[in-house]
Structure 1
Amino acid sequence: MSSRVLITGASGFIGYHLIESALKAGLEVHAAIRPSSDVSHLKAFDITYVYPNFNDKAGLQKLLAEGRYSYIIHSAGATRAKNQEAYNLINAHYTRTLAEASLAADIPLKRFVFLSSLAALGPISYQDTQPITEHTLPNPITSYGKSKLLAEQYLSQLSELPLTTIRPTAVYGPREKDLLILFKTLNKGLDAYIGRKPQRLSFVYAKDLSAATIAALFQASPEKHTYNISDGNWYDRYALANYFKEVSGQRLYRLHLPVQILKMAANALELSSSFSNKTPVVNQEKIKELTAANWYCSINAAQKDLKYSPQYDLKKGLTETIEWYKAQHWL
């Protein structure tokens, strides 16, 4: 009988790749989704759907007890929210509730893997010669990053939880929709940047992230672990567009936009959406992330403990992603 894994956020971009990797690893997958979630893209998978209510700890405990899960991957979360309180509720408090319910449910839990973010640590100075490590002092610059750090702090307090925390850098790949906006802009020939300051950026292909996450499930060590995940490289701010140009053959017009102009535009968009449930893609939080100087991180710990070996650098990953977008008529 296969071991059973619960994957939250299963209907999302990363969730899709986690399901695919978990099934390949021989696990029985229970996909945790909202009743309103679109799961049409998951119909080819042999999985079971469950519908947790993260506001209901007793209900979560009952669901987990019935599922008898050996593993939990918590990838559900909010990447855009109205304010710090909303981020904290979804990304931190719901995470703690799920973890506490998993301990109270008396299930054969071997590993709880939490997908945090490199944003929980925040960027470093461009002049720093050493990359971000798992021991870098946290200094998140966004509400999203602060909420992920708060979730990590909550989980660290649960001494009996067999926890592994994964901190991916910017994730891209088939089905990703935020970077797709950038790709559509590049596909029209416009290569736009915010300001002119140099940057060190890092990326991880979704398949590499899911491989590292599944490997974390099978850690025998009872201790808590944390790993930063990227493809192991750093790229200057023009690398993504240069590779896109090389792969697609698209001619690009490079344009640098003043930071203050973008901030004013973000303010206007946030004001216009203040009475809406949606947060605009261009917002103050996103500008902070996009203009940060240095997101280069070390993956030495994951390479050592998880035998993590990224199969995709940015050029190879972009090639596969662009081909997928075009085949699905997304681009």
Structure 2
Amino acid sequence: MHPDFEIPMKILITGASGFIGSFIVEEALKRGFETWAAVRGSSKRDFLQDERIHFIELNLSNQTQLEEQLKEHSFDYVVHAAGVTKCLNTSDFYRINTEGTKNLVRALINLKMPLKRFVYLSSLSVYGAIHEQQPYVEIKETDTPQPNTEYGKSKLEAEQWLESVDFPYVILRPTGVYGPRERDYFLMAKSIKQHSDFAVGYQQQDITFVYVLDVVQAVFLACEKGQTGRKYFLSDGEVYQSTTFSDLIRKELGNPWWIRITAPIWVLRVITFFGDKWGHITGKISALNNDKYHILKQRNWRCDIEPARRELGYEPEYTLEKGVPLTIKWYKENGWL
């Protein structure tokens, strides 16, 4: 067949309306994939406006319904980016992150979907607070996970279940992902614009970040080169101190005057305790919740990305110095700041 008439590869992206998922959709289109965006009926599609996108509604909470929704399709690749990072009820982490993954994979197996690769977006949070004694060392894949958040535990359960099935999966474990459209780090930028910054704890904190487009790069490298059963950490390859991110945000906002408050860990514990309580009263998830306490308390976020570099050819292109200006620029241009 003439190459101009080759049938394009078909890719399914769950969580397509989300922060990372929407960027994966854009890259899939650039690469010429027949791109299917899995969304819920209630999902906003603000960042899914390209007319080439095919939409499919999937109910990840019901395996039987999933099989019905997927039975007419044959995908070459599935990127599972759907999930939740904060919930009012602990059980929802496991219902969505763990059981949702199981239901999707079981449906694909039962349908005998001829997948080349299933890429699962997990998180560095599956490891929790390890190597917390200075000098900090990188978290490696040979370390034993000890997740200290419900989010991390639910992601780890999904990972461990994937290990038990005969399936062509690759797992990516990004550290803190930031970039345009991201809402949690945006709150930090909004706070700084309003002249305040908040740091936690007096002990040195080594933080790692990864720009969203570097995560996207890794997703497609995993599709092309990932070995079944492998798990890869993702960061930008640098290590930062706890104030670096907010310093760069302030610079991009024109250095507004600010008050930086550094509070002891116990103050954060009090704030997040009441944040959780208030969330349950109002029905709205607080950004400062119980999981967030453990995340902010953790001092060591170093991770070893050499396997991703060596096996996938992953090379991060965006340090904070490059990524933060692009992010703040987007927030400004889109009326967020």
| Closer/same/farther in 2, CA of residues 228 and 20 from structure 1, 3 Å limit | same
* Alignment CA distance shift 1:273-1:246 (3 Å): closer
Q: Does 1:300 align with 2:306?
A: yes
The reply to whether residue 252 of structure 1 matches residue 258 of structure 2 is yes
- CA separation in 1, counterparts of 2:57 and 2:324? 34
Deviation at 1:22, TM superposition (A): 1.4
- Looking at structure 2, the residues matched to 247 and 27 of structure 1 have their Cα atoms a distance apart, in angstroms, of 36
**Structure-2 residue corresponding to 1:134:** 141
The answer to whether the 8 Å contact 1:9/1:77 transfers is yes
Letter in 1 for 2:99: H
Q: Secondary structure at the match of 2:198?
A: strand
Deviation at 1:75, TM superposition (A): 0.6
Q: Which residue of 1 aligns with 2:196?
A: 190
SS at match of 1:112: strand
Equivalent in 205, 213, 229 of residue 207 of structure 1? 213
**1:313 equivalenced with 2:319 (yes/no):** yes
2:72 is paired with a residue of what secondary structure? helix
Partner of residue 326 from structure 1, selected from 293, 318, 332: 332
Number of residues paired by the alignment? 329
- Structure 1 consecutive aligned stretches of length 4 or more whose deviation exceeds 6 Å: none
Contact 2:13 2:80 in 1 (8 A): yes
The secondary structure found in structure 1 opposite 2:35 is: strand
Measured after TM superposition, the shift of residue 245 of structure 1 is 2.7
User: Gaps spanning 5+ residues in structure 1: where?
Assistant: none
Aligned counterpart for 1:27 among listed residues 3, 25, 33: 33
Instruction: Return closer, same or farther for 1:184/1:25 CA change in 2, 3 Å cut-off.
Output: same
Q: Distance in 2 between matches of 1:273 and 1:298?
A: 36
Instruction: Give the residue type in structure 1 aligned to 2:214.
Output: D
Aligned equivalent of 2:237: 232
Shift of 1:28: 1.1
Paired residue secondary structure (1:122):
coil
State the partner residue of 2:19: 13
Report the TM-score when normalising by structure 1.
Answer: 0.95
Question: Partner letter of residue 237 of structure 2?
Answer: G
Identity %: 36
Q: Which is further off, 134-143 or 258-267?
A: 258-267
- Find the residue that maps to 1:66 and give its secondary structure: coil
Give the C-alpha shift of residue 82 in structure 1.
2.8
- Pairing of 1:1-331 with structure 2 (within 5 A): 1-124=7-130, 125-158=132-165, 160-219=166-225, 221=227, 223-250=228-255, 251-331=257-337
Note the residue ranges of structure 2 that are not aligned, 5 or more in a row: 1-6
2:239 and 2:302 in contact (8 A); partners too: yes
**TM-score (norm: length of structure 2):** 0.93
The residue that corresponds to 2:3 in the other structure is none
State the 1:212 CA deviation: 0.4
- Asked whether the equivalents of residues 61 and 96 of structure 2 are also in contact (C-alpha less than 8 Å), the reply is no
Distance 1:277 1:6, change over 3 A: farther
Deviation at 1:198, TM superposition (A): 1.1
SS of residue matched to 1:274: helix
Deviation at 1:243, TM superposition (A): 1.6
1:45 Cα shift? 5.0
Note the alpha carbon deviations across 1:146-173, whole angstroms, 9 max, x for none.
1100010111101x20010000100000
Q: Which moved more, 1:88-97 or 1:41-50?
A: 41-50
